[in-house]
Homo-oligomer: A and B are copies of this chain.
Amino acid sequence: MNVKGSLPLLVLDALSKGSSYGYQIAKAIKARSGDVLSFQEGTLYPALHKLEKGGLIEAYTVTVDGRRRRYYRLTEAGARALNEERTTWFTYVQAVNALLGDAQ
């Protein structure tokens, strides 16, 4: 299950903890969320390309054991966007929880 719109936030957050690459980001989000969050490759790679085009992340290629990895790191603009998206997220969640009676 995924709420549409939260992937960029999760990717930016993941990269704020250190550079990483698509396959690893996907595994990390899935594992660290106890399988609650699980984005498919067909979702993740286009999202990474879009963030790169928007200048929020930048890429460099590394070959490890014959396999090519496309590492991404957060740009300054990406760090700012992360802060904004975090704020937006918490504001939204708080609003929904208030309507739901916040019974949890």
Sorting the interface of chain A by its residue count into under 10, 10 to 19, 20 to 34 or 35 or more gives: 20 to 34
Chain B residues lying within 8 Å of A37, measured Cβ to Cβ, are 92, 95-96, 99
A5 and B37 CA atoms in complex are apart in Å by: 15
CB nearest neighbor in B for A14: B99
For the complex, what is the distance from the CA of A78 to the CA of B19, rounded to whole Å?
44
Interface SS, A side? helix
Taking CB atoms and an 8 Å cut-off, the chain A residues in 68-104 that contact chain B are: 86, 88-100, 103-104
CA distance A86 to B102 in the complex (A): 10
Cβ–Cβ contact B5 & A92, under 8 A: no
Contact: B33 with A98, CB < 8 Å? yes
Query: Hey, which chain B residues are within 8 Å of A88, CB to CB?
Result: 1
